[in-house]
Amino acid sequence: MSHGPSAPGVAASAHAHDAPYEPVFTPGSARSKELADLITRYPDKRAALLPALWMVQNDRGWISEAAMMEVGDQLGCTAAYVKGVVTFYTMYHQHPVGKHFIQVCTTSPCLCAGADKVVEAFLEHTGCKELGLTSADGRYTVIEVECLGACGFATPVQINEDYVENVTPEKVPEILAGLP
Amino acid sequence: MGYPHKSHPRETPILSKHFGEPEARTLEGWKARGGYKALAQALHMEPVAIQEIVKASGLRGRGGAGFPTGLKWSFMKIGDGKPHYLCANADESEPGTFKDREIMRWTPHALIEGCAIAAHAIGAETAYIYIRGEFTEPINVMEAALVEARAAGIIGKNAMGSGRRVDVWVHKGAGAYICGEETALMNSLEGKRGNPRIKPPFPAVSGLFGMPTTINNVETLAAVPHILNNGAEWYKAMCLSNPKSTGSKLYSVCGNVAKPGNYEVVMGFSFKEFLYDLCGGPLPGRKFKALIPGGSSVPTITIEEAEATIMDYEGFVAQGTMLGSGGVIVFDDAQSMPRQLARIARFYAHESCAQCTQCREGTAWMTKILERIVAGEGTFEDLDTIFDLSEAMTGKTICVLSDSCGAPVVSGITKFRGEFEALIKGRRSSTVAVGAR
């Protein structure tokens, strides 16, 4: 992640470990235009909050407190309000995560298929010491996720955007080797 | 089609007919398969006339509740001067359920067409398809199909040249099972935390942005074009048992079964034939033991009860469970029911929005007790506590997530009490053994 100079009006101090925050929705930027277009789909611009947070996470990798302030300013709500929303949903990262964010489904149908062993295999082969921690090389973060809605293809694993289906512990090294 | 398997001759593939065909995703491919004829016809009909056809077809909500779709639409007051909204519920997150994902990723135009018809039928100009955030592939497929449909003038300010405006947009969720609850979905779409709302007011009176709103499941909406094309009588005729359950239904089958996947059969099909023939029966050397047939929120049944079940809304109720979403989770004789039910309880504890005390505390407490039993540290009193707790968690909260935690657990303990008692007794005997040394 690269960081430009601190932007005026956005407190860099809001998050110590991500010092200068580079705004996503600078006037005239593609993201700014995208957000403006998106707002026209709804009678209330606050409805664009989840999509706006997705844009931030897509560009920055996670959603810092400074980002929450920026999004709040864009949509006419406070940073505290935005934080309340961010913390409700499991997919928004409130801290940086590994380059490959690996979510292993372990809900009931996948447990039948041995998803717990898939989790162990990912933890072992990525070098992530425990669930939620990022590997020392910054490549991987592994978490358990609740039902991915692909129960007929147990065990499904979501790696960043993509689903990998029918994962068994034996397939884990090959899957990891195939990641960029 | 028994996606990902080849279609079984006993299936009735209507919604799933084109699963696995990449060309069906394109506008041209969809039109070649008869797409958008129903919408062209519907846009020149009065909304009430469409409602009447859907009412006559007997179509009921496929998301879980089974509410008659045409009746739901008729709650929307056409011409009240307010903006109306349609929400397609594509937040498919119920453990065991993966049918809407296949509808969206193989036949996106079926959902767009269903949305556009439904929007017109309820007097709405805007429909939002709320898709769970994890479903990246279905979202991308839906977005691409919407771009094509918009460019071709099928949806937009003058849908198919009818002079009517029908906008359809995808709205991406961000990870929260509870957003599949219709009022939570509306809150989430409005940019809020996904907390369910107290009803009344019901969505048809005050829903999305405070305006009259209808929320329908993806599978329900995808069935609508077929009903308009073939008529209510044709749909109603797809019924082998109770006339209150009509049409075809997609079942997602998973867990310990030879051929997991999606299967589409008509209402009233035999569950025994379904499980042993279509789904290939148990895995080699195993026997079926228990099922949760309608997504993890419905009561657990034994294989004996399942074999006697007729697959329709009333048939599942007759066996003490529910059709629900049609997500069939199968457990074989190698599975520990206490372990599986503890995992299900953990799911609900994780997904509770935490508004209501009974749910916030109850789901977590129930999980703790069940995990204690699984760890060999439970007591017989723990089982009584779970029953008491479930009673306090049922029918007392804003939404049914709390009830949904208790339903599979209490029925599971009742029917497989021996497995729980063995774990508890195991603890006692090991205590004695330690003491004897």
**0.90 surpassed by pTM:** yes
For residue B176, what is the domain's CATH number? 3.40.50.11540
Tokens 């995208």 belong to A34
Cβ–Cβ gap A151/B167 under 8 Å:
no
> What residues of A are in contact with residue B252 (Cβ under 8 Å)?
151-152
User: What is the pLDDT, as a whole number, of residue A128?
Assistant: 95
Cβ–Cβ gap A146/B296 under 8 Å:
no
> What residues of A are in contact with residue B327 (Cβ under 8 Å)?
151
Domain of residue B186: give its range.
34-236
- A147, A148, A164, best to mutate vs chain B, most B CBs in 10 Å: A147
User: What is the pLDDT, as a whole number, of residue B426?
Assistant: 87
| Closest CA relative to residue B15, chosen from B156, B217, B279 | B217
For residue B263, what is the domain's CATH number? 3.10.20.600
d(CA B154, nearest CA chain A) in Å: 18
B66 lies in the same domain as B206: yes
Domain boundary among B236, B270, B289: B236
ipTM of the complex: 0.94
Assigned domain for B199 exists: yes
B321 lies in the same domain as B353: no
Predicted confidence pLDDT, tens digits, chain B (437 residues): 557 888 999 999 999 999 999 999 999 999 999 999 999 999 999 999 999 999 999 999 999 999 999 999 999 999 999 999 999 999 999 999 999 999 999 999 999 999 999 999 999 999 999 999 999 999 999 999 999 999 999 999 999 999 999 999 999 999 999 999 999 999 999 999 999 999 999 999 999 999 999 999 999 999 999 999 999 999 999 999 999 999 999 999 999 999 999 999 999 999 999 999 999 999 999 999 999 999 999 999 999 999 999 999 999 999 999 999 999 999 999 999 999 999 999 999 999 999 999 999 999 999 999 999 999 999 999 999 999 999 999 999 999 999 999 999 999 999 999 999 999 998 755 544 443 33
Cβ–Cβ gap B191/A89 under 8 Å:
no
164-223 of B, contacting A, C-beta below 8 A: 167, 169, 171-177, 188-194, 209
Query: How many domains is chain B partitioned into structurally?
Result: 3
Contact of A53 with chain B, judged by CB distance below 8 Å, is answered with yes
**Residue ranges of chain A with per-residue pLDDT less than 50:** 1-16
CATH architecture designation of domain A100-177: 3-Layer(aba) Sandwich (3.40)
Sign, CA dihedral B279-B281-B285-B288, equals: positive
| Closest CA relative to residue B178, chosen from B203, B197, B202 | B197
How many residues does this entry show for chain A? Answer: 180
B81 lies in the same domain as B176: yes
Count how many pairs of residues, chain A against chain B, have C-beta atoms within 8 Å. 144
User: What is the pLDDT, as a whole number, of residue B414?
Assistant: 98
Instruction: Please tell me the CATH superfamily of domain A12-86, with its number.
Output: NADH-quinone oxidoreductase subunit E (1.10.10.1590)
Assigned domain for B229 exists: yes
User: What is the pLDDT, as a whole number, of residue A19?
Assistant: 62
